[in-house]
Amino acid sequence: MKGKIGAFIAVLVLAVATANPGYAQDAEHGKTIFKACAACHATDHANRVGPGLEGIVGRKAGTVPGFRYSDAMKKFGIIWDVKILDAYLESPQKVVPGNRMPYAGLNDPTDRTDLVTYLATLK
Ligand code: HEC
């Protein structure tokens, strides 16, 4: 019985998730959240305080030419995807300990999803 209720709730959650207003709108919201990142990050390949974020989804961590990454970021060695970006933006120091990005993290999961959706449009 308990299992059935669990399955029902899972279906319900899925239904709510797919009823989401849609990609364009999320990215639009993500763009407004990105203002907090824009102080340090350009949306092209230009390096500022932080590396340019063009093509970040699908790019290897720590590889923008000419940017002086921390050893932690250079050694991280992962290909940024939506999932790992979400985790990194929630808690940069937890995911890449010792990295030099002065950002505490974004708590709201919806804001993070929208932000990462926006980041995926930077190509
Ligand atoms: C105060 C400056 C600053 C802010 C604000 C900031 N970052 Fe960063 N970011 C950095 C620095 C510096 C690095 C490089 C860290 C390192 O080398 O350890 C970095 C690295 C990154 C990386 C890894 C890039 C790569 O090439 O591997 C991503 C992704 C990233 N930041 C996304 C964001 C997002 C999204 C936001 C907004 C929520 C944000 N950052 C806010 C300074 C900042």
Greater confidence (112 vs 22) lies with: 112
Half-sphere exposure of 80 (CA within 13 A, CB side): 24
Residue to mutate (ligand 1; options 40, 48, 68, 113; most atoms within 8 A of CB): 40
| Cβ neighbours for 40, distance < 8 A, ≥ 6 positions apart | 48, 49, 50, 101
CA 52 to centroid of chain Cα atoms: 14
CB-based contact 113:86 (threshold 8 Å)? yes
- pLDDT at residue 12 in the model: 44
- The closest of 120, 101, 85 to 51, measured between CA atoms, is 101
- pLDDT of residue 23 exceeding 90, the answer is no
pLDDT given for residue 16 in this prediction: 46
Which tokens is 1 given?
């019985």
pLDDT tens digits along 37-80 = 999 999 999 999 999 999 999 999 999 999 999 999 999 999 99
pLDDT band at 20 (very low <50, low <70, confident <90, very high): low
Structure tokens at 115: 């932000």
Nearest CA-CA partner of 81 in 96, 61, 101, 65: 61
CA of 23 to the centre of ligand 1 (A): 24
How far does residue 83's CA lie from ligand 1's centre (Å)? 16
pLDDT tens-digit readout, 82-91: 999 999 999 9
pLDDT at 14: 46
Q: Which of 32, 34, 41, 44 is the best mutation target for the ligand 1 pocket, counting ligand atoms within 8 Å of the beta carbon and taking the most?
A: 41
